[in-house]
């Protein structure tokens, strides 16, 4: 009986001495999807920037400025005396409209009403957030945003669709310095 028990123990222990083997993936994925996505986005950006450049070339009445953020703008009304632009946390009051690059109105100033915005503390699409920081109180500027500076791939879930470059005219009414409390 003891020999039978010893043999059974050896039979159970012997297979357990085998080293574990790594499981192989069912399918192997490469980075090709990401690479293709990057290439598509680069091509889209190049097409949009080319389209914006054509608009700028045709518009000889205005002098466009290229921003560091990747959009273009010109001043409809410029303040040459003031030097104060909004900084982080400042409160600005402004109106703006939104058009596509062909000039078709998407949102009017009336629809959007006057906006009170805390610089970099609230949600606003990237290009407009950066554009406001370039303006002074009393100025009006027109911005041309490629889609990656506007609402991008997702749009605004309302009137602005996927990858739509925008033209926006903004009037900055007032800049209120961020209040600081001292103890």
Residue 58 structural domain = 42-176
Query: Does residue 13 fall inside a structural domain?
Result: no
Note the pLDDT of residue 35: 86
Assessment of whether the complete model's pTM goes beyond 0.75: yes
Of 105, 91, 118, 101, residue with least CA distance to 173 = 91
Asked whether residue 21 is assigned to any structural domain, the reply reads: no
Q: What is the mean pLDDT of residues 102-130?
A: 95
User: pLDDT tens, 1-50?
Assistant: 777 666 766 666 665 556 677 777 676 666 688 888 899 999 999 999 99
Report which of residues 31 and 156 the model is more confident about: 156
For residue 46 the two structure tokens come to 């190049």
Question: What mean pLDDT value characterizes the chain?
Answer: 89
Instruction: Write the CATH number for 101.
Output: 3.10.50.40
Task: Please report the beta strands in the chain, taking only residues with DSSP state E, as ranges in sequence order.
Answer: 65-66, 72-77, 91-100, 105-107, 115-118, 140-145, 166-176
Q: Are 126 and 71 in contact (CB under 8 A)?
A: no
- How far, in Å, are 84, 94, 131, 144, 168 from residue 136 at the CA level? 6, 11, 11, 18, 17
DSSP 179: P
* Structural domain contains residue 99: yes
pLDDT of residue 15: 59
Flag whether 47 is in a domain.
yes
CA angle 58, 62, 68 (to 5 degrees): 95
- Domain tally for the chain? 1
In this predicted structure, what is the pLDDT of residue 182?
45
- Residue 158 covered by a domain: yes
DSSP 158: S
pLDDT band at 181 (very low <50, low <70, confident <90, very high): very low
DSSP 3-state of 90: coil
Q: Report yes or no on 137 lying in a domain.
A: yes
Pick from 46, 47, 71: which is nearest to 132 by CA? 71
User: Could you identify the residue written with the tokens 């009170």?
Assistant: 116
């Amino acid at each position: 009986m003891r020999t039978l028990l010893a043999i059974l123990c050896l039979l159970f222990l012997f297979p357990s001495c085998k080293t574990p083997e790594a499981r192989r993936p069912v399918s192997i994925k490469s980075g090709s999807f990401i690479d293709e996505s990057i290439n598509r986005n680069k091509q889209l950006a190049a097409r949009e920037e080319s389209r914006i450049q054509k608009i700028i070339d045709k518009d000889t009445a205005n002098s466009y400025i290229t921003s560091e953020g990747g959009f273009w703008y010109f001043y409809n009304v410029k303040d040459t005396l003031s030097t104060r632009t909004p900084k982080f946390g400042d409160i600005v009051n402004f109106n703006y409209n939104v058009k596509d690059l062909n000039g078709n109105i998407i949102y009017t100033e009336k629809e959007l009403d006057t906006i009170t915005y805390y610089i970099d503390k609230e949600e606003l699409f990237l290009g407009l957030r950066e554009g406001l920081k370039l303006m002074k109180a009393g100025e009006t500027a027109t911005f041309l945003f490629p889609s990656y500076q506007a609402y991008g791939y997702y749009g605004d879930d309302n009137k602005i669709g996927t990858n739509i470059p925008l033209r926006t005219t903004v009037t900055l009414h007032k800049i209120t310095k961020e209040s600081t409390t001292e103890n």
